[in-house]
Amino acid sequence: MSSTPPALTREDVAHLAYLTRLQLTDTELDTYVGQLSVILDSVATVSRVAGPDIAPTTHAVPLTNVFREDVIVPGLEHNAAMAGAPAVQDGRFRVPQILGEE
Amino acid sequence: MSHVMEMFDLMDYDKAIEMFDPVMGLEVHVELGTATKMFCGCPTVFGGEPNTHVCPVCLALPGAMPAVNRLAVEYAIKIGLALNCKIAPWCRFARKNYFYPDMPKNFQTSQYDEPIAFDGYLDVDVDGETVRVEIERAHMEEDTGKSLHVGGATGRIHGADYSLLDYNRAGVPLVEIVTKPIFGTKASAPAVARAYVAALRDLLRALGVSDVRMDQGSLRCDVNLSLTPAGSPVLGTRTETKNVNSLRSVERAARYEVSRQGAILAAGGTIKQETRHFEEASGTTRPGRSKETAEDYRYFPEPDLVPIAPDPAWVEELRATLPELPWVRRDRLQADWGLTDLEMRDLVAAEAVELVAATVAAGASPAEARSWWSAYLGQKANVAGVSLEELPITPTQVAQVAALVSSGDLNAKLARQVIDGVLAGEGEPADVVKSHGLAVVSDDSALQKAVDDALAAQPDVAERIRSGKVQAVGAVVGAVMKATKGQADAGRVRELVFQTLGVDPA
Amino acid sequence: MSSSTDLTRMTAAGLATAIAAGDTTAVEVTKAHLDRIAAVDGDVHAFLHVSADRALAQAASIDKSRADGNPARSPLSGVPLALKDILVQEGVPTTAGSKILEGWLPPYDATVTKRLLDAEIVILGKTNLDEFAMGSSTENSAYGPTRNPWDLSKIPGGSGGGSAAALAAFEAPLAIGTDTGGSIRQPASVTGTVGAKPTYGGVSRYGVIALASSLDQVGPCARTVMDTALLHEVIAGHDPRESTSIPQPVPQVVAAVKRGQSEDLSGIRIGVVKQLGGKGYQSGVLESFDSAVASLTALGAEIVEVDCPHFEYALAAYYLILPSECSSNLARFDAMRYGLRVGDSSAASAEEVMMLTRGQGLGAEVKRRIILGAYALSAGYYDAYYGSAQKVRTLIRQDFEKAYSTADVLISPASPVTAFAIGEKVDDPMAMYLNDLATIPGSLAGIPAMSLPSGLASDTGLPVGLQIMGPTLGEEAMYRVAATFEADYVSRHGGIVADFAPELELVK
């Protein structure tokens, strides 16, 4: 197991906040850098016992091959689908301009 | 167009190939033809009113949870088997985390390091040579919704005032088929790319897992390409060109990137690893804008889904249902149609095999069907700069025209006019025949009058025929054809002339 | 039944019997609880939304169905319930305690909501919680904290403080909670009520706003073990809309409770987990726990000590897994399709609006965990953090498996402390996280676990919860022990713990 990752920097937190689309104030950034460092120090203990021979557990009750048949199920009425939208135009969700492309 | 133009020259393609070896990787996304989406029971049919094929799951409403479509998994396994892949005994979905308004959950449920199929190959024919394209993996994922950008520069994301989102396509099942790097193709790299996508398309169509409509986006190709100095083992930096929506574009995009990258490298520049977008109109690629890199996707196993562990018996059952695969089918068709290897190869190269087969299935003879597609329609496609398949005429329509020729209702010249009418969007062959009055004049009374008139106008010729110079009949037939604007059946006219003059030509 | 107070102090089972017998009606029972809410909820603030008209209409239709001669659709027919505001109910405001969902009306019902309505259980309204269920005190709710009916200056636990307080304040006899790391059990513990977290996959999560998908579980809450079991059977069972739902019959927990009420614990082996006690546990809590162990021994149980060495790493693993999953689950709150939108203008980009909306619409704890989770999943750190945490889960499961080879159920205090003062731990996330010390191992293993009152702490006079943990799908053993323990407590004290809560001042 690799050693503990390096300490969290303010730039790290700012980048993570961008990736998770959180606009943070400078105060918030400062607070989080401190708090997250404490938390990370504490949680880093997991790597101490997690040996390479231990299989990870992702689910409490192991199941496999859970499928749905390819049968159409009624979805939402159009108006119900749009009812919660902050803005609607021409039956579509109206959103601010999308910059950048995937 | 308000986007910033990149300033650089293009290198002559042949020169670029002299200096560099292209290395390609092709990623093909295919929308599966299941009735419902990957993770919910919404219909996948194309073209509904916006946001009418949606539910809490595909709109990512709070609380909604995914459930895997069994048929989509079967289709993915079939694709893997047909591509000679190994089928994973155990695999999972993962979350690929990035924000994009087209993608309601702001993560894509996809397979990451555990694809359902891996390590396969597809043999493709390029100019008579077989090129084996190795398949890295085929994995399952889901499509995004569609955005419409309004205001600013029309149709472009950058500069739009706002965007409108339709999630009918969000969650449609996709299989992504990724090749291993394709080396050593040199100048034929773009042709190999095209041939691979065409072969894959034919394969997927034969499997019945997708309608493989590149024009509707149900088959899409990303072209990864890098250049390495000729003979060098060191891999160059690659670009990924998206939005490549036709076979011709696959070829053009690869060719363009060779010239673009060649110019930059030859000038001592470096290639930026980036996503680029193919511009259909100009045949060029331009950079996309993305602040996130693959490093930032924070993949982890999808905790709302359980692993898929295909039972070997299930896989074998699916293998047994595989239809005749295109290359096997081609051998059979070649034999059925009595073609030489070269003739068949020409049909394959022209991407005409399935069109000819469909035309034969619709009642035409193989010779007629092949002749129409490879000759007349082939020229039309060339002139229009589109593939045969993109021509606005169906195999059934071609077969109808062929039938009208066999029945004597049309002659060759008229048949071409009917085809032209169909291509011009004038409707079915029968409509074109009717609206242009193109039917061969076979009404004997009408013809008889034309024959009588022609004989009366050329009494000397009539006399020569009577006296036994039967070959002189040509002048009369020609006059009749002229009078009937080519719509008469020449054979019948000839018969009538002899009959009228009481001459037995034999 | 004469006064409203009488109806609100009855058990759910008792109310259902009275309604079935025609001694009262669903409407009367509903009205009595709505009156009680009106009288006390200004202080307690258990509810974020009270669906008075909807509840009365539902009750009236149940009464009409009975009058028409239709049989009751469940053993809890006509009984009111408080629904944690993290389960969606069609047309009823659902916020998950967050500003980002203020005003959102779900267009669909959660599977559990549907099962409740099908069982003719009257849904009174939506209860308060820590924002997106992240917290142990309900102080992280964007709509203000809930107060503990035992002492209004104290927290009611969290995240399901609203549901637990509604029970303790006699605003509802039944409630629904969700438990990711203790959000049912810890509030039950500090409010003197009962709450059970079923085996992971035992109750459908469809329509439950996800916090950590691999840990979240919906469960029943009430003031008595029998009421909890009755509700458990209504909501449990396989749901094809959830892929992690267990395709097996629902455990017969009501029968188990009946058995527990009529038999002693002879032949039952109860394991005391060595690691869940001692340092970090309040003395009044340990004292109450020790007396519970003595009672169980007196009831015939064999007490064994079990060693679960990897529990030491449970909290660390939990605070990696939960933030990782929640950072992804909460990405959908992006101002595009529903919910809050901040900074919309023709000059703004979608990305800017997403950032502003999430920056302002999500609270401090939520943002902290999203960032922590994004970090734990980062390329390069995944193995050290998320990957290792999932391995710790395996070790903890193995500890449990070993423990269950020598014990039928395991016990511990449900919460290391009794209710603490509002504001006491808000600025110290690590101190707050320690509240879930005893409940988190069970969450990571996915086993069933519940909290029921073991009495009042001698040092604070506030309720203490006893946690009973069963093996996977071992709900029956868990409920049986709980029922025996509760019956014994009632026989010695003349009532359940909730009966001894101080009277709240009524608003008139």
CA of A58, closest CA in chain B: separation in Å?
7
Q: What does each C-alpha distance from B271 to B229, B239, B243, C399 come to in angstroms?
A: 13, 8, 20, 54
Query: Binning pLDDT at 50, 70 and 90, where does residue C161 land?
Result: very high
CA of B296, closest CA in chain C: separation in Å?
7
pLDDT at B470: 84
Q: Calculate mean pLDDT across residues C8-31.
A: 97
Most confident of B388-397, B421-430, B446-455, C131-140: C131-140
Q: Calculate mean pLDDT across residues B33-39.
A: 98
Q: What does each C-alpha distance from C477 to C189, C256, C409 come to in angstroms?
A: 20, 7, 7
Query: Binning pLDDT at 50, 70 and 90, where does residue C39 land?
Result: very high
CB contact under 8 A, A86 and C346: no
Q: Calculate mean pLDDT across residues B31-46.
A: 97
Over residues B122-175, the pLDDT tens digits come to 999 898 789 999 999 999 999 999 999 888 655 455 556 899 999 999 999 999
- From the list C241, C331, C334, the residue facing B67 with the nearest CB is C241
- C99 and C356 Cβ atoms separated by less than 8 Å: no
- Given a cut of 70, is residue A20 above it in pLDDT? yes
CB contact under 8 A, B161 and A92: no
Active site residue C159: yes
Mutating which of B70, B220, B305 best tests the A interface, going by the most A Cβ atoms within 10 A?
B70
Over residues B323-335, the pLDDT tens digits come to 988 888 888 999 9
Rounded to two decimals, what is the model's pTM? 0.88
Over residues C174-187, the pLDDT tens digits come to 999 999 999 999 99
Average pLDDT of chain B? 90
Catalytic residue of the set C51, C77, C136, C159: C159
CB contact under 8 A, C375 and A100: no
- Given a cut of 70, is residue B442 above it in pLDDT? no
Distance of CA B73 to the CA centre of its chain: 25
pLDDT at B292: 66
Query: Binning pLDDT at 50, 70 and 90, where does residue B5 land?
Result: very low
CB contact under 8 A, C328 and B107: yes
Q: What does each C-alpha distance from B272 to B6, B154, B283, C364, C449 come to in angstroms?
A: 13, 28, 20, 38, 55
Distance, first Cα to last Cα, chain B? 73
Over residues C309-361, the pLDDT tens digits come to 999 999 999 999 999 999 999 999 999 999 999 999 888 999 999 999 999 99
Lowest mean pLDDT among A79-93, B30-44, B469-483: B469-483
pLDDT at C118: 98
Lowest mean pLDDT among B419-433, C111-125, C483-497: B419-433
- B214 and B243 Cβ atoms separated by less than 8 Å: no
Active site residue C31: no
Over residues C394-453, the pLDDT tens digits come to 999 999 999 999 999 999 999 999 999 999 998 888 888 889 999 999 999 999 999 999
CA of B223, closest CA in chain A: separation in Å?
14
Mutating which of C391, C427, C434 best tests the A interface, going by the most A Cβ atoms within 10 A?
C391
Q: What does each C-alpha distance from B275 to B142, B174, C478 come to in angstroms?
A: 20, 20, 56
Beta strands in B167-217 (DSSP E): 173-179
Which tokens hold the place of C118? 């099908």
Better pLDDT: B463 or C253: C253
CB contact under 8 A, C243 and A20: no
Average pLDDT of chain C? 96
Distance CA A82, CA A75 (A): 13
pLDDT at A38: 87
Secondary structure (3-state) at B323: coil
Better pLDDT: B487 or C24: C24
Distance CA C134, CA C28 (A): 36
pLDDT at C506: 80
Average pLDDT of chain A? 89
- Given a cut of 90, is residue B349 above it in pLDDT? no
Q: Calculate mean pLDDT across residues B37-61.
A: 96
CB contact under 8 A, B56 and A72: no
HSE-CB at B65 with a 13 A cutoff on CA atoms is 33
pLDDT at A4: 57
Residue numbers in A near B166 (CB within 8 A): 91-93
Lowest mean pLDDT among B443-447, C133-137, C197-201: B443-447
pLDDT at B329: 87
Nearest Cα residue to C388 out of B303, A33, A4: A4
Residues 279-298 of B with CB under 8 A from C: 294-298
